[in-house]
A and B are shown apart, each in its own frame.
Chain A
């Protein structure tokens, strides 16, 4: 099947393509009964619990990491590695919240949620944690 004919067939498959004109904010399309446009059925509550737990875990982890760095370094300068990891975990918490919105708003996920709450924080959080871990390793090797 050619790519062109595949895209003609897509509306008849289970795939729910994103809206060609996504709204600026899509909160009015937020629906707990659907995930990526698919009806959840019995998976409604497990899916919600999993997603909320994921976001809460990063918020709680941020709190514990702040306590850890403050206590461990006790007045000394917190190294770049831990600053990066801490900010990365905090920013990922924002991305996990954006993820909830994006998944439940699909196919009308808002541009603000998709970009400012999901993609950009996710990429930034991932990059910061990755770099933080790299600096942590460099601190013991250099």
Chain B
């Protein structure tokens, strides 16, 4: 695998036009959905907590959604092979691990605070 290479692959020409279009359109709810979640969760938290500090569990949960959005964004150059290389894989690995830690930590603290007492 190369260290890092870039290619201008046309996303509408990875196969028959219908299939390429289907692949491309499916990425709108994938990236848009997580991006929308990150946007509305922070808006919700600011509205709900107002001047009070946002609790740790919610901070972690929101950060998990933000990092998952970044993870989904990185998947596009991987799938379309716009970027190929070890550097991209290392970044992909790091983002995935950070997102996963935040997700587990955030949801664990949410559950712990309200259930495990």
Contact = CB atoms under 8 A, between A and B. Distances in A.
B33 A127 contact: yes
Contact of A15 (B1, B28, B81, B92): B81
B89 A15 contact: no
Given A15-B84, A61-B107, A68-B111, A134 B10 contact: no
Contact of B13 (A7, A40, A133): A7
Contact of B44 (A56, A58, A64, A140): A140
Of A13, A71, A133, most buried by chain B (CB within 10 Å of CB) is: A133
Interface string B1-43: 1100101111001110000000100111111111111111101
Give the secondary structure class of A's interface. helix
B78 interface: yes
Interface string A43-64: 1001101110110111011001
Interface string A64-84: 110110111000000000000
A53 B10 contact: no
Nearest to A67: B111
A123 B111 contact: no
Contacts of A134: 36, 40
A46 B47 contact: no
Given A13-B7, A70-B115, A43 B1 contact: yes
Contact of A17 (B14, B31, B43): B14
A7 to B, nearest CB: 7
Interface residues of A, number: 60
Contact of A128 (B33, B40, B107): B33
Contacts of B90: 43, 46
Given A36-B84, A72-B114, 14 more contacts: A7-B13, A14-B7, A20-B15, A43-B90, A56-B100, A64-B108, A67-B116, A68-B115, A124-B29, A126-B32, A130-B36, A130-B40, A131-B36, A136-B44
17 contacts: A6-B8, A15-B9, A15-B84, A36-B81, A36-B84, A49-B93, A51-B96, A60-B103, A64-B104, A64-B110, A68-B115, A70-B115, A85-B37, A122-B72, A133-B38, A133-B39, A140-B44
